[in-house]
């Protein structure tokens, strides 16, 4: 059985460190694991929802704003993909792993020019066939 609590805390720590250098101030993270069997010893996928304050540039006009959000979400996916969870519940480097994230799900945006840039995005990590 995979120890979810220990795994979550380790991954939170690694994500927060990687995010600091990339203009993300992580406020909260939520994890959800999906398993291939009832014994919970092999994962099918996992979700990470991240609430954060983005400290990078965002344009106010609608077209540029949408483009900036896309770039921001790609940068966050890169942060989350540096370390991934293997099917067996171990933390591994995202480079050359068989675990990949899909496109983000936007849960909320709290945006006020020059004051507030809070986002809540979710990513699902799936495994390539072994």
Q: Can you tell me the mean pLDDT for 46-53? A: 97
Q: Can you tell me the mean pLDDT for 20-38? A: 94
User: Which string of b and e fits 40-61 if b means at least 16 CB within 10 Å?
Assistant: eeebebbebbbbbebeeebeee
The number of domains in the chain is 1
Full-model pTM = 0.89
Show the domain range for 71: 4-127
What CATH number has the domain bearing residue 122?
Answer: 3.30.980.50
* pLDDT tier for residue 11 given thresholds of 50, 70 and 90: very high
Q: For residue 128, give Cα distances in angstroms to 29, 42, 55.
A: 24, 14, 33
């Amino acid at each position: 059985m995979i120890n979810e609590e220990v795994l979550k805390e380790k991954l939170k720590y690694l994500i927060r460190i990687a995010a600091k250098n990339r203009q993300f101030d992580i406020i909260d993270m939520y994890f959800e694991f999906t398993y291939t069997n009832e014994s919970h010893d092999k994962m099918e996928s996992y979700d990470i929802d991240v609430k954060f304050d983005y400290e990078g540039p965002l344009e106010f006009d609608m077209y540029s704003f949408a483009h900036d959000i896309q770039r921001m979400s790609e940068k966050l996916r890169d942060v989350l993909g540096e370390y991934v969870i293997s099917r067996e519940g171990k933390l591994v480097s995202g480079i050359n792993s068989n675990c990949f994230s899909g496109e983000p799900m936007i849960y909320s945006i709290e945006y006020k020019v020059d004051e507030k840039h809070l986002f809540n995005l979710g990513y699902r990590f799936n495994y390539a066939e072994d």
